[in-house]
A and B are shown apart, each in its own frame.
Chain A
Amino acid sequence: MRLIRNLIRTPEGAIGLGILALLVLIALLAPALSPGDPLKIAARPLLPPFTDVNFPLGTDRLGRDVLAGIIHGTRTSLAVGIAAALAAIAIGLCVGLAAGFAGGLVDEALMRVVDAFQIVPSFLLALAFVSVIGASVPVVVLAIALGAWADPARLTRAQVLSIRERDYIASARVIGMHPVEIAFKEILPNALPPVLALSAIIVAAAILTEAALSFLGLGDPNVVTWGSMIAEGRNILRSSPSLSIFPGIALVVTVVGVYLFSEGLTNALAGRRSEA
């Protein structure tokens, strides 16, 4: 609770949280806000925006409602972004914790694997992964997570290396706690805050990666995504720029929202630590 209060106290945190809350609301209420299949051919093709109350943002080349696409695209973007970030952080935390806590050979081995993933550009990794396995939402999530887990793994390891030398860990050992118990009960909660601050950046990057994959035609074609909307609009950028601009704005707002939120979160966490 105190964290949220601290978060709202910073302007970036407040704005970020506001934007994110709004987007989550849109995503959750998408079926109510625009019922039916958003890919349905609903009206005359290429209806310009702001001319028809039923289709405030106009229609695309096939006559699909742009607003419906953006609303339902919020779902895909947030779901993919958050799921990918969760997966990346879960993998990263486990690997980092194991490497930092076990040390020695295990540490060396795990860190070399992390190195391997860090030197491959994460977008290329995702691109290759999706084109080999085939495009669907779970595959895209996994592909993005594959390229994103290395950073949290390193960060966690660094935290663990410092924490495990603390006196309270030594005392936990002395009283005979099981190492796994020490790792999860004593070390993990204290190593978590900086990793959480990183998580928002991972979400933002994941949303952008997903959009980029869809833009290149490697997203799931059966769901609307902002990336695929921009890609479709690109062909008629000169005559109907709005088709690319609206999903583009949605993408910008989301990513800025996530970044502001992460900025606020970092400040709030720092504040908490200085108070403590």
Chain B
Amino acid sequence: MTIADLSRRTLLQAGAALLASTALPTFARAQNAPSGGRLIVAADSEPKNLNPAIVASNGVFFVASKVVEPLAEASFEGKDGLSPRLATSWEGSADGKSVTFKLREGVKWHDGKPFTSADVAFSALSIWKPLQNLGRLVFANLEAVDTPDETTAVFRFSKPTPLQLIRNALPVVSSVVPKHVYEGTDIGANPANVKLVGTGPFKFTEYKPGEYYRLTRNEDYWAEGEPKLDEVIFRVLPDRAGAGAALEAEEIQLAAFSAVPLTDLDRISKVPGIKVISKGYEALTYQLVVEINHRRKELADLKVRQAIAHAIDRKFVVDTIFLGYAAASTGPVPKNAPEFYDADVPTYDFDIAKANALLDEAGYKKGANGTRFSLKLRPAPYFNETKQFGDYLRQALAAVGIDAQLVNADSAAHQKAVYTDHDFDLAVAPPVFRGDPAISTTILVKSGTPAGVPFSNQGGYANKELDDIIAKAAETVDTAARTDLYRQFQKLVAADLPLINVAEWGFITVARDTVLNVSNNPRWAVSNWADTALQS
């Protein structure tokens, strides 16, 4: 079936839906959004494995979250910042060794079989814990999942596991996949990893490599009146410059994850019929970080690291590189995580004189050619902004007499050089804050991670005090005490600078005005879009 065929059919359906909706009396606001229509979205990557239970990453969630649902989704208003999905409630025991989930009743898989607690138990023990990139950390001590009845799942842990961590991680780690499809098969090679089977508002219908993913409405979805859309098409547009033009030409109606480059936003926001939205990424905050190789004797000196922190003009970075769509960082936890964020940490103003003085104090005087020492700087290639920040950092360091030589590489070569071979002095990285320090920012500073683990501390930094705080927080069940430990963690990182946090940013969504209910939760782009609608 070609796109042209589809559009004719959908047009008729949309027309019918319009007639129907005008004929009916008014409902509550959410229900009032028109039904039907096909939403075409720009996608910039085609993950090899699309199973969100195995690969918990945004590239996978972007498509898969519409098909496979988590136990709970992030929410602006909900209790604990969550809104229920497949679980309706969750409760931890006082000793932190068990969590009881009540599951939603009457939910069916896309192949018609009923969803039960057995699916949750299977997903948790056979996929999240052993196979998933993040589940390995969160469920490290998961021993068993009891299923006293079809709608109750009790997670039992061998060591205390904080409920706060599980809550914060739920939207990301808890994608439930059907036991009857995966049991007894090679899970990593199961065909359902590409042709997904889930409980979500959309069914996975078609995938044409290099062209598009097609998801169609799940008629049996558990939430009444949802989904609104008949179809969601993810059109593969790897060229970032192409997304803006496609929006203007109405070939696509939505481009998330900053598919439209920041530099183009000012212009495109003035195009009639197009809106630019920076909301909806609060739980997906990226942090711009300078990773430091502490094996270099100059960089092992705290004064040098402080000097580098003082040499970076965060305002310039935010205003010029991110064009204002970012915030300056103070420490390893972003402001978008108010539960943990602590502003009361040592800060480093942009002050070249101070940076020069610190470097002189450290004993690295300027040589005859004006340079003190030379460093190898590797900017991560994933974002335009990280590459530009690399260019900027080279100039910022030159201003204080440090000669930074840029080394560019593709993603694979960059990861190998930094995280396996340690062939860097400074590196620019964009780690993502995943809602809880235990599964994100602490990994970048704690010691003992073997070489080869990407996006971890590979700079040879080891600080016993910091390691102890991180280890203690990992098993502190009391929410207040745990939060307090992470405040100490932030102070210590900001003071000792195992790495330098420069800025934090979310993505930008650009959509046609006809797309309704956009960005209404903190993980909107990777949530299920059940209430997203199209105005015809």
A55 to chain B, nearest CB (A): 16
**Complex contacts, A238 vs chain B, CB 8 Å:** 244, 264, 267
Q: How far is the CA of A218 from the CA of B321 in the complex (A)?
A: 21
**Complex contacts, B384 vs chain A, CB 8 Å:** 235
Q: How far is the CA of A76 from the CA of B426 in the complex (A)?
A: 26
Convert B363-384 into 0s and 1s, putting 1 for each residue whose CB lies closer than 8 angstroms to a CB of A: 0000000000000000001001
A34 to chain B, nearest CB (A): 16
A39 touches B267 (CB 8 A): no
Does B406 make an interface contact (CB < 8 A)?
yes
Given contacts A40-B398, A62-B321, A62-B391, contact A236 B408 (CB under 8 A): no
B388 touches A62 (CB 8 A): yes
Does A134 make an interface contact (CB < 8 A)?
yes
Per the 8 Å Cβ criterion, residues 395-427 of B in contact with A are: 395, 398, 405-410, 413
B391's contact among A39, A234, A239, by CB below 8 Å, is which?
A39
Could you count the A-B residue pairs with CB atoms below 8 Å apart for me: how many are there? 58
B44 to chain A, nearest CB (A): 15
B405's contact among A37, A39, A222, by CB below 8 Å, is which?
A222
**Complex contacts, A217 vs chain B, CB 8 Å:** 381, 387, 408
Does A18 make an interface contact (CB < 8 A)?
no
**Complex contacts, A222 vs chain B, CB 8 Å:** 394, 405-406
Which secondary structure characterizes the binding site on chain A? Answer: loop
Convert A52-65 into 0s and 1s, putting 1 for each residue whose CB lies closer than 8 angstroms to a CB of B: 00000000011100
**Complex contacts, B267 vs chain A, CB 8 Å:** 238-239
A192 to chain B, nearest CB (A): 39
Convert B254-267 into 0s and 1s, putting 1 for each residue whose CB lies closer than 8 angstroms to a CB of A: 00000001011011
Does A237 make an interface contact (CB < 8 A)?
yes
Does B455 make an interface contact (CB < 8 A)?
no
**Complex contacts, A218 vs chain B, CB 8 Å:** 408
Does B181 make an interface contact (CB < 8 A)?
no
A61's contact among B320, B409, B410, by CB below 8 Å, is which?
B320
**Complex contacts, A41 vs chain B, CB 8 Å:** 392, 395
Per the 8 Å Cβ criterion, residues 211-269 of A in contact with B are: 217-218, 221-222, 234-239
Does B241 make an interface contact (CB < 8 A)?
yes
Q: How far is the CA of A62 from the CA of B413 in the complex (A)?
A: 26
Q: How far is the CA of A45 from the CA of B320 in the complex (A)?
A: 7
A131 touches B321 (CB 8 A): no
B116 to chain A, nearest CB (A): 50
A40 touches B395 (CB 8 A): yes
Q: How far is the CA of A218 from the CA of B408 in the complex (A)?
A: 7
Q: How far is the CA of A174 from the CA of B406 in the complex (A)?
A: 60
B263 touches A235 (CB 8 A): yes
In the complex, how many residues of chain B place their beta carbon closer than 8 angstroms to a beta carbon of chain A? 27
Q: How far is the CA of A60 from the CA of B413 in the complex (A)?
A: 28
Convert A63-95 into 0s and 1s, putting 1 for each residue whose CB lies closer than 8 angstroms to a CB of B: 100000000000000000000000000000000
**Complex contacts, A37 vs chain B, CB 8 Å:** 395, 398
A239 touches B320 (CB 8 A): no
Does A135 make an interface contact (CB < 8 A)?
yes
Given contacts A41-B395, A62-B391, A235-B241, contact A131 B408 (CB under 8 A): no
Residue of B with least CB distance to A240? B263
**Complex contacts, A134 vs chain B, CB 8 Å:** 407, 409, 413
**Complex contacts, B392 vs chain A, CB 8 Å:** 41, 62
A261 to chain B, nearest CB (A): 33
**Complex contacts, A40 vs chain B, CB 8 Å:** 395, 398
A234 touches B241 (CB 8 A): yes
Q: How far is the CA of A37 from the CA of B401 in the complex (A)?
A: 13
Q: How far is the CA of A235 from the CA of B410 in the complex (A)?
A: 19
A239 touches B408 (CB 8 A): no
Residue of B with least CB distance to A37? B398
B263 touches A61 (CB 8 A): yes
Per the 8 Å Cβ criterion, residues 197-219 of A in contact with B are: 217-218
Q: How far is the CA of A61 from the CA of B319 in the complex (A)?
A: 11
B448 to chain A, nearest CB (A): 30
Q: How far is the CA of A180 from the CA of B432 in the complex (A)?
A: 65
Q: How far is the CA of A218 from the CA of B381 in the complex (A)?
A: 12
B395 touches A39 (CB 8 A): yes
B9 to chain A, nearest CB (A): 34
B395 touches A221 (CB 8 A): no
Convert A22-63 into 0s and 1s, putting 1 for each residue whose CB lies closer than 8 angstroms to a CB of B: 000000000000000101110001000000000000000111
Per the 8 Å Cβ criterion, residues 206-244 of B in contact with A are: 240-241, 244
Supply 14 further A-B pairs (C-beta < 8 A) apart from A39-B391, A41-B392, A62-B321: A40-B395, A61-B263, A62-B388, A62-B391, A62-B395, A63-B320, A131-B413, A217-B408, A221-B390, A221-B406, A235-B240, A235-B241, A235-B261, A236-B261
- A sample of 16 cross-chain residue pairs with beta-carbon separation below 8 angstroms, ordered by A number, consists of A39-B394, A41-B395, A45-B320, A61-B263, A62-B388, A62-B391, A131-B413, A134-B409, A135-B407, A135-B408, A217-B408, A221-B391, A222-B394, A235-B241, A235-B264, A239-B267
- Counting from the closest, the 3 A-B pairs by CB-CB distance are A221-B406, A236-B263, A221-B408
Task: State the B residues within 8 Å of A (CB).
Answer: 240-241, 244, 261, 263-264, 266-267, 320-321, 381, 384, 387-388, 390-392, 394-395, 398, 405-410, 413
Task: State the A residues within 8 Å of B (CB).
Answer: 37, 39-41, 45, 61-63, 131, 134-135, 217-218, 221-222, 234-239
